[in-house]
Amino acid sequence: MGEMDTAYRRLFQHKELLRDLLACVLSRGLMASLDWDRMRPVPAGHVSDQLRQRTGDCVWLIPRKTLSHGAAEGAPTPGTGICGKAGPLEQVPPQGLCILLLLELQSRPDDVMALRLVSYTGLSYQTLLNSKLIRVPLPPVLPVVLYSGRRRWRAPLDFGGLLGDIPADLQPYQPQMRYLLVHEAELLQAAGLPQRNLATLLFRLQRSRDIEQWRALLHTLTEVVRQQPGHEELNRSLTVWLQHMAQRSAPPTEVLPPVKTLQELDMMIAEKPGLWARQWLREGRKEGRQEGRQEGRQEGRQEGQADLLLHLLQQRFGPVPEDIVQRIQAAQSAQLRAWSLNILDAETLDQVFQN
């Protein structure tokens, strides 16, 4: 993992930024029901070696707010569905319901992300149970994938989308899980995002290539960060990440002066606006060319495979039903190749889509 990726992941270890990210995509009712002041990351010492090797991102336990009579809203009988006492979680009341938040950061699409999250969820539950941080009944899980790339995310959003045709007798036994995809670029295109929201400002800074607009966003971000309790560490993390963004596109002979805070960064840009503008504009052109080429090649391959498969099906079985056409057009390259090979032995259209 490069320094840039490490710096970006570090940002989402700050609960203030994580809270603002979820405020962009969750309902107000759910956000209001969660006790953000007492949310805690799962301590590293309580996560198994297997889980540490398989997930490099964030796992949090977030308590539900309790009602005036002392029981959590919608809670079962006292002593169940709890966050137990251990390490940083010791302040969570025994009767408080929690949610288990899994955050996975992706810069590229992953065809089997749903499978990965099923695995991460099971490992997280198991290690938390072993560490006595939770008890049965288990807290509900919220799996979130934060995607920063520009290519379309074509991977299935639920585990069922990875499965082939399932005999009716076996359907009740299949795993079921869906994850929440947060596509940064699409999120910015949506109307109604909160303006003074840390996540909104972060994503706009990441994509703005106009130096004056960038500085205006930086001013707003600095003001919002100042309002956060204990904002110094968040300030430093944001500064490190922004410096990495600019420096990674600079020529080896052009080293940007180090700064420690957003305020210092703003002053440095004011002193040398041309230097910083070159870095941002160069980075924008580079990203656009690279991701545009990658996306064009990938989409071109998949469209060509889909068209060829439809042509072969029509030649072999006649007109193809509309639901089959849609299924083919939404499929990934590996699946299209497998179906194309099935045509060789299939006697009916249905057999083409069997594993």
90 or 276, which is more confident: 276
Residue 288: pLDDT band by 50, 70, 90 thresholds? very low
What whole-number distance in Å separates Cα of residue 160 and Cα of residue 141?
Answer: 17
The confidence score (pLDDT) of residue 173 equals 94
One-letter amino acid for residue 50 of the chain: Q
Residue listed under structure tokens 């320094």: 3
One-letter amino acid for residue 179 of the chain: Y
**Does the N-terminal peptide bond of residue 137 adopt cis geometry, omega within 30 degrees of 0?**
yes
Q: Considering just the CA atoms, what is the radius of gyration of the chain in Å?
A: 24
Tens of pLDDT, residues 102-115: 999 998 899 999 99
The confidence score (pLDDT) of residue 146 equals 94
What whole-number distance in Å separates Cα of residue 280 and Cα of residue 296?
Answer: 24
Q: Three-state SS across 239-256?
A: HHHHHHHHHCCCCCCCCC
**Average pLDDT of every residue of the chain:** 76
Mean pLDDT of 141-159: 90
The confidence score (pLDDT) of residue 79 equals 29
C-alpha distances out from residue 50 to 111, 126, 132, 222, 335, Å = 22, 11, 18, 39, 29
| Strand-strand pairing, 40-41 and 58-63 | antiparallel
Percent of the chain residues past pLDDT 70, beyond the cut: 72
What whole-number distance in Å separates Cα of residue 235 and Cα of residue 34?
Answer: 25
Residue 256: pLDDT band by 50, 70, 90 thresholds? low
Query: Is 61 within 8 Å of 42 (Cβ atoms)?
Result: yes
Residue listed under structure tokens 């490992």: 123
Instruction: At 273, list the tokens.
Output: 């606006």
The confidence score (pLDDT) of residue 8 equals 83
CA atoms 240, 48, 52, 143: torsion sign: negative
